[in-house]
């Protein structure tokens, strides 16, 4: 008699098939096989909220094949993913197959050892997990199918409201309100550039105190007073402090931290990170070893690691870096609301080093695997040890402080973290960079000579807009969503056009603001962070067997039903006026308006249906076509490879560029200059002519210059004038001769996203 293993994906099926003998057949369902119907609510409210499941369209053939084969098998093993969704898939399969010989096996990693062990220890389907998934599905259906028609009636057709996604949109809207209400406040910073008497070294220090009290000049007048009091003063080191500082390695990845770090270090979108992680989990052909899963299950909120994996990591560290390099591993305080159902995300074997498997992986797979592998192994290495030196320097009752640091022992950073002088390369804080430099030898009582005083006018900045990584971080901190829902949340709020991602930051749309305001006023629980977090806790209680799932639904639905009835009468109809363009309809002379279809936005005549004229919507960037004699303008276009720039008069004009054109011309060859970006998002201009003898891009920008795929361009920032500029902030200088230059105020720095 044969035995059947059922998984979700063909890739996972192929990997597992290699690990079992010929008596096993491994088949894939291609995801869910049964769900609530799309054409109706599908929840029997009168019958204790029982869901009415139907077979998903297109799954009839695969279900029939599985059912037929299951009837000829001795045992059927349901090996869907080890989470609530996977448990629900296993239950639906068991219901559809209808045999008594089904067993549930969980695979936290797709390796031969894990597969054979799971087959030796099958378990019944965990109905608590199934019910937790059913509760979430029914809650989301009730909110979506009951609330969406109200939004169609009061705002515009086609809208939908999600229970968790609406909270995410509200968080983005609240941040935008903070930014709009923000008023920058002026403050000044004073840096002294000093020199040792023997002229062997220079020291930079920052003003921190006056007569023993902290000082922070608030305007130019206050700074002028300070400069005048310092004029001609004697500078002396009053004390030097030294201390050792350690920084321990971070814990292994969970879903949210993997998404955040892949975004920050690799510039991956959240959805892309999860797609690549899924590939690494399900299995990759790595040559003589065959197809094997390279990482453990990637949807987890736990940093827990098995004893076997821990021992393997310690052995690797001892072998590669010496016995003294290995540690017991990172200590992590358990966070609240952690399900702890799976281990942390780690390599299935640390001896499969990134370099050993690099030739078998795509570039993206290799980079993500290296990130996961390095983070995990580094966790069992020694901390980085820093020597911190602080020198206090006085002049006429004003105290300045110089801080420097050096790496005494790199510890785990040889594997994870590009650290220079104790600073991660991603830290763009200039003050921190100034602190983390080496100081020359200084002694208490040592006199110094003043070379320069640098006053700097600064302005407080508004809070930054969220990017994908920081949005996931705040959702996790507030207990909104779970590992399996973070990526769908980020994707859904963009698809519904409640937010836009511009220059990697979320901006709420007009529609997003309108819907959020309606929900805040009439359905406060739906967009309440604490209420949604409490609901997540209740769903966890269902999974743990502590709570009856239908009771949770009832407690939510009946008050919600009353709010719906009240909102029907109280919500005022919002007229969403279409965006009017400057283009004119050639048939009737009216200005065309922006319309939407399932294929995207286009321009249409407002006189529809009497006038049915339409045309493509092209985003202009405000530049004339650079081709000589052409009267067209540069517009943004789309292709399979992404955005590119072309002439509005195509095909008459053939101008095209992957990079955003500018109005500048190259001084060497007269070709147009284009805007390119470094990997950390910094913009720079370079010549569009590949054969131009123009100097190469600055160091660190070559990799970005080689890319052929375009990136969404950043808006140009206005340059500020002045002797020295740092992030748009003007500096003035006072020479050691004692004749100070006027400390002119610069214009307020532009408000940025941070």
- Provide the 10 A C-beta neighbour count for residue 2: 13
Write phi, then psi, for 590 (nearest 5 degrees): -85, 155
| Active-site residue identified among 53, 145, 187, 297 | 297
Please list the alpha-helical segments (H only) found in 283-359.
Answer: 307-321, 354-357
In 263-319, the DSSP E strands lie at: 284-285, 291-292
Q: From start to end of 396-444, where are the E strands?
A: 398-409, 419-420, 423-424
707: DSSP letter = -
Q: What is the DSSP letter of 579?
A: P
What are φ and ψ of residue 384, in 5° steps?
Answer: -80, 135
Under 8 Å CB-to-CB from 243, ≥6 apart: which residues? 387, 388
Structure tokens at 199: 């002229």
Q: Specify the 3-state DSSP secondary structure of 566.
A: helix
User: For residue 589, what are the contacts with CB-CB under 8 A and spacing of at least 6?
Assistant: none
Question: What does the alpha-carbon distance between residue 117 and residue 426 come to, in Å, rounded to a whole number?
Answer: 42
Structure tokens given for 249: 């390695």
Chain-centre distance for alpha carbon 344: 19
- How many of the other CB atoms lie within 10 Å of CB of 29? 24
Beta bridge partners of 3: 24, 75
Residue identified by tokens 């540690």 is: 327
* C-alpha dihedral sign at 229, 230, 232, 236: positive
3-state secondary structure of 386: strand
How many Å apart are CA 172 and CA 471, to the nearest integer? 8
Residues with Cβ within 8 Å of residue 78, at least 6 apart in sequence: 6, 89, 90, 93, 94, 102, 103, 104, 105, 125
3-class secondary-structure state, position 202: strand
Helices (H), 392-548: 430-435, 468-477, 486-495, 510-522, 529-543
Alpha carbons 629 and 631: distance in angstroms, whole number: 7
Place of tokens 């202009």: 620
> Strand, coil or helix: what is 135?
helix
Q: Residue 679's closest CA among 702, 659, 661?
A: 702
Tokens describing residue 20? 């079992």
DSSP per position, 326-372: B-S----PPPTT----SPPB-BS-TTS-HHHHGGGS-HHHHHHHHHH
Q: Is residue 133 exposed (0-12), middle (13-18) or buried (19+ Cβ within 10 Å)?
A: buried
User: Would residue 297 show up in a list of annotated catalytic residues for this protein?
Assistant: yes
618 Cβ contact partners less than 8 Å away, ≥ 6 residues apart: 635, 636, 637, 648
- Tell me if 555 sits within 8 A of 569, measured CB to CB: no
- Residue closest to 742 by CA, chosen among 310, 368, 224, 48: 224
Helix (H, G, I), strand (E, B) or coil at 253: strand
Return the CA Rg of the chain: 31
Q: Please tell me the distance from the alpha carbon of residue 136 to that of residue 132, in angstroms, as a whole number.
A: 6
Question: Among 119, 91, 97, 90, which Cα is nearest to 23's?
Answer: 119
609/590 Cα distance (integer angstroms): 14
Active site residues: 297
């Amino acid at each position: 008699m044969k035995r059947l293993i059922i998984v979700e994906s063909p890739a996972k099926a192929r990997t597992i098939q290699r690990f079992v003998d010929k008596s096993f057949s491994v088949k894939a369902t291609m995801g869910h096989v049964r769900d609530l119907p799309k054409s109706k609510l599908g929840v029997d409210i009168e019958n204790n909220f029982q869901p009415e499941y139907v077979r998903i369209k297109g799954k009839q053939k695969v279900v029939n094949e599985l059912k037929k084969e299951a009837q000829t098998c001795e045992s059927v093993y349901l090996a869907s993913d080890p989470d609530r969704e996977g448990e629900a898939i296993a239950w639906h399969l068991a219901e559809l197959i209808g045999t008594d010989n089904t067993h549930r096996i969980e695979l936290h990693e797709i390796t031969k050892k894990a597969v054979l062990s799971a087959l030796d220890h099958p378990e019944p389907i965990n109905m608590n997990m199934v019910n937790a998934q059913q509760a979430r599905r029914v809650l989301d259906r009730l909110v979506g199918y009951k609330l969406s028609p109200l939004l169609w009636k009061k705002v515009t057709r086609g809208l939908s409201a999600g229970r968790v996604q609406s909270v995410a949109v509200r968080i983005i809207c609240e941040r935008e309100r903070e930014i709009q209400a923000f008023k920058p406040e002026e403050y000044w910073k004073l840096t002294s550039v000093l020199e040792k008497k023997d002229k062997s070294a220079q020291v930079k220090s920052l003003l921190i105190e006056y007569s023993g009290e902290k000082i922070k000049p608030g305007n130019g007048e206050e700074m002028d007073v300070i400069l005048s009091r310092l004029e001609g003063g004697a500078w002396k080191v009053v004390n030097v402090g030294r201390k050792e500082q350690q920084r321990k390695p971070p814990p292994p990845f969970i879903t949210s931290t993997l998404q955040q770090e892949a975004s920050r270090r690799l510039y991956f979108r959240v959805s892309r990170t999860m797609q690549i992680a899924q590939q690494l989990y399900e299995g990759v052909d790595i040559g003589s070893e065959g197809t094997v899963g390279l990482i453990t299950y990637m949807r987890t909120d736990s940093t827990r690691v098995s004893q076997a994996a821990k021992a393997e990591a310690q052995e690797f560290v001892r072998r590669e870096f010496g016995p003294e390099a290995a540690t017991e591993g990172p200590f992590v305080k358990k966070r609240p609301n952690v399900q702890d159902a799976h281990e942390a995300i780690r390599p299935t074997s640390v001896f499969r080093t990134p370099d050993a498997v690099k030739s078998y992986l795509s570039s993206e797979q290799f980079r993500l695997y290296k990130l996961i592998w390095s983070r995990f192994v580094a966790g069992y290495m020694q901390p980085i040890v820093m020597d911190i030196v602080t020198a206090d320097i006085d002049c006429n009752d004003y105290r300045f402080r110089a801080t420097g640091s050096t790496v005494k022992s790199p510890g785990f950073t040889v594997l994870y973290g590009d650290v220079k002088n104790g600073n991660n390369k991603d830290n763009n804080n200039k003050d921190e960079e100034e602190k983390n430099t080496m100081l020359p030898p200084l002694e208490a009582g040592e006199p110094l000579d003043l070379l320069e005083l640098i006053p700097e006018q600064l302005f407080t900045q508004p809070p930054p807009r969220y990017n994908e990584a920081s949005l996931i971080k705040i959702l996790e901190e507030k207990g909104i969503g779970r590992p399996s829902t973070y990526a769908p949340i980020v994707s859904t709020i963009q698809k519904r056009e409640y937010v836009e991602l511009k220059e990697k930051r979320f901006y709420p749309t007009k529609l997003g603001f309108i819907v959020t305001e309606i929900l805040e006023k009439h359905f406060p629980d739906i967009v309440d962070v604490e209420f949604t977090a409490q609901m997540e806790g209740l769903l966890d209680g269902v999974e743990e067997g502590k709570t009856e799932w239908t009771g949770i639904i009832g407690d939510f639905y009946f008050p919600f039903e009353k709010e719906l009835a009240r909102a029907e009468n109280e919500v005022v109809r919002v007229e969403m006026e279409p965006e009017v363009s400057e283009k004119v309809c050639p048939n009737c002379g009216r200005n065309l308006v922006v319309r939407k279809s399932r294929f995207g936005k286009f321009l249409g005549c407002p006189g529809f249906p009497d006038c049915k004229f339409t045309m493509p919507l092209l985003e202009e960037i405000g530049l004339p076509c650079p081709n000589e004699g052409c009267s067209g303008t540069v517009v943004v276009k789309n292709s399979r490879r992404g955005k590119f720039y072309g002439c509005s008069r195509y095909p008459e004009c053939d101008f095209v560029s992957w990079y955003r054109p500018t109005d500048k011309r190259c001084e060497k060859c007269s070709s147009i200059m284009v805007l390119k970006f470094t990997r950390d998002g910094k913009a720079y201009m370079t010549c569009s002519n590949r054969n131009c003898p123009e100097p190469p891009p600055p160091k660190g920008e070559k990799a970005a210059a080689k890319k052929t795929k375009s990136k969404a361009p950043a808006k140009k920032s206005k340059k500020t004038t002045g002797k020295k500029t740092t992030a748009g902030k003007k500096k003035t200088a006072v020479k050691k001769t004692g004749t100070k230059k006027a400390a002119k105020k610069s214009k307020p720095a532009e408000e940025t996203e941070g």
